[in-house]
Amino acid sequence: MYKALYRQYRPEVFDEVLGQDHIVRILKNQIATSGTSHAYLFCGTRGTGKTTTARLLAKGLNCLSDGERPCGECANCRAIKEGSFLDVIEIDAASNNGVDDVRELRESVKYPPATGRMKVYIIDEVHMLSQEAFNALLKTLEEPPEYVTFILATTEVHKLPATVLSRCMRLDFRRVPEAVLIKGMADICSKIGIDVSEDALRIIAANSDGSVRDGLSILDQCISGRDSKVGAEDVLEFLGASGDEDFIKLTDLVRKKKTEEAIVFLDGILSDGKDVRQFMRDWINHYRNLLMVRFMRNPETVISMSAENIDRIRRQAAVLELEDINRGILELSSMADEARWSTQPRILLELAIVRLCMGAGQIRELSEVEFDDPAPMPAAKPAVKAEPAAAPEPVEAEKPAEPAEAEIVPQAAQAKAAEGFDCEDIWNKVFEDGESEQGSIYLIRNGGRITSIDENTFTVAVNNSFVKEHAEKSRKLIEHLVEKHTGAFRAMNLVLAGGGQPEKTADEIAAQASDVLGIKVEVK
Ligand SMILES: Nc1ncnc2c1ncn2[C@@H]1O[C@H](COP(=O)(O)OP(=O)(O)OP(=O)(O)O)[C@@H](O)[C@H]1O
Ligand SMILES: [Mg+2]
Ligand SMILES: [Zn+2]
C-alpha cells in the first residue's frame, strides 16, 4: 500500500529533525546526562515535529545503545517505531478525553515498565481533555513514580490550565524556516530518487507556512503521477496556479469597477471549496507581487514564481495605478485581519470587492472635480504602457476635461509678495490640509520638501522617483494648497533631490513599501 511521504519519513534520530535545534540540543543533553524531566509539554504549530520528537525522546529514554541515543537501530528503538513497545503508551486525548480515561491511566502508572527502562506516556492533543480529566491528571503529574515520563503535546497551549503548565518543562516548536525545509525536502527527494527542481521546492516551501508535514504533503502530491522530474510548473499546476490567473482576472475586474461581475466570478472560485481566508491572503500576495514588479528590475529574487507568471503579473502591473495597488493591499489586509475573528469571512471579502470597485471612482472624482485646473497635466508616467494580456477593452478612457470651475481665488491672494516665505512652514501647512483630502499624501510630505518659492513657481525636491510619481499625480492638489497658503497660483516644479538616485536595494524598496503600505513587506 502506498504510504504518504510524511508517514514514511518520520525522523528516527534527533539529527533528522528539521528546524528545532533549540529543542533537540536540550533533549540530547538531558538524555546523555540522565537529566530528563518527569513531565514535558511540547507546544507549537501543527506539523512541526511534536509527536515525532515525543517518540524520539521515548526512544532515547529506552535506547540500548552506548553511543548517542536514540540510535534508531536497537531492538527497543525499532519496537517503539513499530508501536509494539509496551512501555511507550500513546494516548490521543481527542478521543480519550474523559475522567475515566485518565483514571485508567493513573492505574497503569502504578506498574513499573515491563521491558524498558522508562515508561513513557505521550498524551497528544492534550488540550482536548475535559476539566475533570485535567484535575485527575494533575495528581499524577505532581508525583509520578521514578520510572514514568509524561510528554504532553498540543497546538493550543492557551487552553491548558496554569496548574498543568507549571508542572511541565515546556518546549516550543517553531515554524520551520523555508531554507531548512527546502534542504530537508531535497534530501528526501534524493533518497527516493526523484528529481525535483530547486524552484519547485522553493514554491512548495513557500506554501507550507513552516509546517514540515504540509511541505511533504504538497511534495508528495506533486510527485505522484510523474515518474522522474518535477519542475516549478508542476507544483504551480498542483497548487492551482490558476490561482494567479484568477487573481489577475479579479484584480482586473476590480480595476474596471465591474462590481457585479467580480462578485459572480468570486462565487465561481469559492464554490470549488477554496478557503476564504486563504484566498484573501493569496490575493494580498498577488497585490504584493504587483508592487514588487513595479519596483524591481529582477523581481524573481523576491517572488516565488515562474518567469512566465512574473511576465503576466508585469503586464497587469503596467496598467494599474500605484494607488490601486496600494489600496488593494490596504483594503484586503484590513479585511483579512477582521476575517480572522469573523464567522462570515466571505461577506467581508465581498464587501472588500465592493469597496475596491467604488473607492477608486470616489477618490478620483474628488481630485478631478474639486481641483481641476485648466493647465495641462505633465505626463506622470513613463510613456510605455504595456497592454493587458487579455482585454482589448479601452484602458480606462481619460475622462473628458471637466468644464473649468470658477477660479478659486483665496482672499489673501493678491496681498502677498513672492519672497519671504518660510518653505518648511508652507510645506507643513499644505500637508495638514492635504492629509484630510487624500490618503497617500503623507508619503509626499515625508519624501519631499519645498526648496524655493518664486513668483510663478515653487520647487519641490523629492527623494526618489516613487515619491515623484505620487507628487506628480497629486500635482493639482498640491498646487491648489500652496496657492491657498501663499496667496497666489504657482506651478509646481518637481526635481529629484541630488539629481536622481542610485538603484535601490531590495531591502530599501521593501522598507519603503512597508512604510507606504503600513504592512510588512518582506524580502527574501
Ligand atoms: N521538524 C520536523 N523535522 C522533520 N520532519 C518533520 C518535522 N515536523 C514534522 N515532520 C514530518 O511531518 C510528519 C508529522 O509530524 P508530527 O506528527 O511530528 O507533527 P506534529 O507537530 O505532532 O503535528 P500535529 O500538531 O498536527 O500533531 C512527520 O512524520 C514528519 O514526516
Ligand atoms: Mg502530533
Ligand atoms: Zn536505540
Q: How far is the CA of 473 from the centre of ligand 2 (A)?
A: 54
Asked whether residue 165 carries a pLDDT value surpassing 70, the answer given is yes
Question: According to the model, what pLDDT value does residue 353 have?
Answer: 93
Q: How far is the CA of 488 from the centre of ligand 2 (A)?
A: 71
Q: Which is more confidently placed, 161 or 502?
A: 161
Domain at 242-370: CATH architecture = Up-down Bundle (1.20)
Asked whether residue 518 carries a pLDDT value surpassing 60, the answer given is no
Nearest CA to ligand 1 atom 24: 46
Question: According to the model, what pLDDT value does residue 380 have?
Answer: 36
**Ligand 1, pocket-test mutation among 43, 154, 213, most atoms within 8 A of CB:** 213
- Residue 215 in contact with ligand 1 by CB distance below 6 A: no
State the fold for domain 5-173: Rossmann fold (3.40.50)
| Ligand with smallest separation from the Cα of 50 | 1
- Residue 211 in contact with ligand 1 by CB distance below 6 A: no
pLDDT, average across residues 127-136: 91
Atom of ligand 1 nearest to the CA of 18: 3
Q: How far is the CA of 93 from the centre of ligand 1 (A)?
A: 18
Could you read off the pLDDT of 378-391 as tens digits, one per residue? 333 333 333 333 33
Q: How far is the CA of 148 from the centre of ligand 1 (A)?
A: 24
Which CATH code is given to the segment(s) 178-238?
Answer: 1.10.8.60
Question: According to the model, what pLDDT value does residue 441 have?
Answer: 61
Q: Which residue has the cell 508535514?
A: 213
| Composition of the chain by helix, strand, coil, percent to 5 | 55, 10, 35
- Residue 359 in contact with ligand 1 by CB distance below 6 A: no
pLDDT, average across residues 319-329: 91
Q: Report the mean per-residue pLDDT for the chain.
A: 80
Q: Where are the domains of the chain?
A: 5-173, 178-238, 242-370, 413-496
Q: Are 367 and 400 in contact (CB under 8 A)?
A: no
**Ligand 1, pocket-test mutation among 212, 218, 220, most atoms within 8 A of CB:** 212
Q: How far is the CA of 63 from the centre of ligand 3 (A)?
A: 4
Write the DSSP symbol of residue 86: T
Helices and strands of the chain, counted as H and E runs? 22, 10
Q: Which is more confidently placed, 385 or 469?
A: 469
| Ligand with smallest separation from the Cα of 11 | 1
Asked whether residue 20 carries a pLDDT value surpassing 90, the answer given is yes
Q: Are 304 and 281 in contact (CB under 8 A)?
A: no
Which of 144-153, 291-300, 513-522 comes out lowest in average pLDDT? Answer: 513-522
Q: How far is the CA of 212 from the centre of ligand 3 (A)?
A: 24
Could you read off the pLDDT of 40-73 as tens digits, one per residue? 999 998 899 999 999 999 999 999 999 999 999 9
| Distances in whole angstroms, Cα of residue 341 to Cα of each of 127, 276, 279 | 21, 13, 16
| Distances in whole angstroms, Cα of residue 151 to Cα of each of 77, 97, 169 | 17, 16, 9
Residue 147, C-alpha cell as written in the block: 520510572
| Ligand with smallest separation from the Cα of 66 | 3
Q: Which is more confidently placed, 512 or 346?
A: 346
Q: Give the Cα separation of 96 and 36 in Å (integer).
A: 27
Measured at the CA of 49, the angle between CA 43 and CA 53, to 5 degrees, comes to 90
Please tell me whether residue 148 adopts helix, strand or coil conformation. strand
Atom of ligand 1 nearest to the CA of 125: 27
Class of domain 413-496: alpha beta
- Residue 154 in contact with ligand 1 by CB distance below 6 A: no
Q: Give the Cα separation of 508 and 452 in Å (integer).
A: 28
Q: Which is more confidently placed, 511 or 345?
A: 345
**Ligand 1, pocket-test mutation among 43, 45, 52, most atoms within 8 A of CB:** 52
Q: How far is the CA of 50 from the centre of ligand 2 (A)?
A: 5
Nearest CA to ligand 1 atom 11: 213
Residue 54, C-alpha cell as written in the block: 515525543
| Ligand with smallest separation from the Cα of 117 | 3
Q: Give the Cα separation of 472 and 466 in Å (integer).
A: 10
Q: Give the Cα separation of 234 and 223 in Å (integer).
A: 9
pLDDT, average across residues 10-26: 96
Most confidently modeled range among 214-218, 419-423, 447-451: 214-218
- Residue 19 in contact with ligand 1 by CB distance below 6 A: yes
Q: Following DSSP, what letter does each residue of 448-499 receive, concatenated?
A: EEEEEE-SSEEEEEESSHHHHHHHHHTHHHHHHHHHHHHSS--EEEEEETTS
Most confidently modeled range among 114-118, 264-268, 460-464: 114-118
| Ligand with smallest separation from the Cα of 184 | 1
Q: Give the Cα separation of 470 and 30 in Å (integer).
A: 59
pLDDT, average across residues 234-239: 79
**Ligand 1, pocket-test mutation among 5, 15, 43, 51, most atoms within 8 A of CB:** 51
Question: According to the model, what pLDDT value does residue 436 have?
Answer: 55
- Sorted by sequence, the CB contacts under 8 Å of residue 486 that are 6+ apart come out as 416, 421, 426, 453, 458
| Distances in whole angstroms, Cα of residue 70 to Cα of each of 20, 74, 167, 356, 431 | 17, 9, 25, 57, 66
- Residue 113 in contact with ligand 1 by CB distance below 6 A: no
- Residue 93 in contact with ligand 1 by CB distance below 6 A: no
- Sorted by sequence, the CB contacts under 8 Å of residue 425 that are 6+ apart come out as none
242-370: same fold as 178-238? no
pLDDT range class, residue 435, cuts 50, 70, 90: low
Dihedral angle over CA of 11, 14, 17, 18, nearest 10: -150
| Ligand with smallest separation from the Cα of 71 | 3
Nearest CA to ligand 1 atom 26: 46
Most confidently modeled range among 140-144, 365-369, 471-475, 483-487: 140-144
Q: Following DSSP, what letter does each residue of 157-211 receive, concatenated?
A: GGGS-HHHHTTSEEEEEPPPPHHHHHHHHHHHHHHHT-EE-HHHHHHHHHTTTT-
Q: How far is the CA of 434 from the centre of ligand 2 (A)?
A: 54
The helix (H) or strand (E) run that includes residue 154 is strand 148-154
pLDDT, average across residues 169-197: 93
- Residue 45 in contact with ligand 1 by CB distance below 6 A: no
Task: Indicate the pairing of strand 39-44 with strand 448-453.
Answer: unpaired
